[in-house]
Chains A and B, each alone.
Chain A
Amino acid sequence: MEHGHTKYPIGHIIGFLLSLAMTILAAIVALRSGLPKPAIMSIIGVLAFMQAGMQLFMFMHIKESDNSAVQIGNIIYSIIIALTIVLGSIWVMHN
């Protein structure tokens, strides 16, 4: 496992600024844009997943180590399970 040591934490700074931007963008879309609710939810939902994914790679070093394949697989599978639990429950309970 190779890890290049950079002198400055460029990855983290970019990650932080992008997260900040996505957060503020989501807030603006939700609170100030006047779009219809389904559109807002879709946009901010996508932004949330994008920000989460980006933090996984840029902050949490998920691709490091020999176990990266299993680690990434584990997170992907957990997202599948999470979506099943959330969407499944909403669907089943909806009446």
Chain B
Amino acid sequence: MSDHLDTSLPLEYQSEQSRLNIFGFWIFLGAEIALFATLFATYFVLSGMTAGGPSQLDLFKEKDVMIETILLLVSSFTCGLAIFSMRNHNKNAMLAWFIITLLLGAGFIYFELHEFIDYVHEGATMQTSAFLSGFFVLLGTHGAHVTLGILWGILLIIQVVRNGLNPVTSRKFFIISLYWHFLDVVWIFIFTFVYLGGLIQ
């Protein structure tokens, strides 16, 4: 592995190891697509099996869904702004946008947990029916990914505050931004096929 930095490239691509890591992460996202596809397949196959319990129409609330969707979409946008700032070598702007991103993500999780707790109080747990098992595990996996992303992001914030913006820290931010955008892309499909699909009269 050469230590040579290619300064004609954006900071996060400058070292050979960085290019390898970013490339490897894209490949990992391909695997994640297969993972979520399986969860979606399970959900779709089981979505009609409500076992006499609550169904999608009984449970889903338009307002909550739109709030969660907008929160996550805006967070993906602010994440993009963070990387844009990083490309312009503006560490403080990058940090500011990134912190906002994580806060919006935390907001998303807060609303999602609230939604799940409401369902449980209405008697809809993941043990109630196959549909609900599928729902909670699909949404829960996505939510767990978001939560992990927030924790990961906090670690990176500490690193960039300590070490500044260099080829290593910028690469790490670029990779987490890919992860974060990916989670919003997955949410597009959850929003469309789980929530909207379930709310159609």
Which residue numbers of A lie inside 8 Å of B, CB to CB?
A: 1, 3, 5, 9, 12, 15-16, 19-20, 23, 26-27, 30-31, 37, 40-41, 44-45, 47-48, 51-52, 55-56, 59-60, 62, 64-67, 70-71, 74-75, 77-79, 81-83, 85-86, 88-90, 93
Contacts and interface: CB of A to CB of B under 8 A. Distances in A.
B197 A12 contact: no
B171 to A, nearest CB: 12
B193 interface: yes
B80 A9 contact: yes
B196 A81 contact: no
Closest 5 CB pairs of A and B: A82-B37, A30-B196, A78-B30, A89-B41, A48-B192
Interface stretch (B81-89, B103-111, B152-160): B81-89
A62 B34 CA distance: 18
A55 B66 contact: no
Given A31-B62, A48-B188, A52-B188, A15 B80 contact: yes
26 contacts: A1-B13, A3-B9, A9-B81, A19-B77, A23-B70, A27-B66, A30-B196, A30-B197, A31-B196, A41-B197, A44-B192, A45-B192, A55-B188, A59-B76, A59-B77, A60-B182, A64-B13, A65-B19, A66-B19, A67-B23, A70-B23, A74-B27, A74-B29, A75-B29, A82-B36, A82-B40
Interface string B175-201: 001100110110011011100110110
B44 interface: yes
B199 A30 contact: yes
Contact of B73 (A3, A5, A19, A89): A19
B200 A30 contact: yes
B38 interface: yes
Contacts of A77: 30
B72 to A, nearest CB: 10
Nearest to B76: A59
A64 B174 CA distance: 12
Contact of A82 (B26, B34, B80): B34
B144 interface: no
B191 to A, nearest CB: 7
A86 B194 CA distance: 14
Given A85-B37, A89-B44, A27 B196 contact: yes
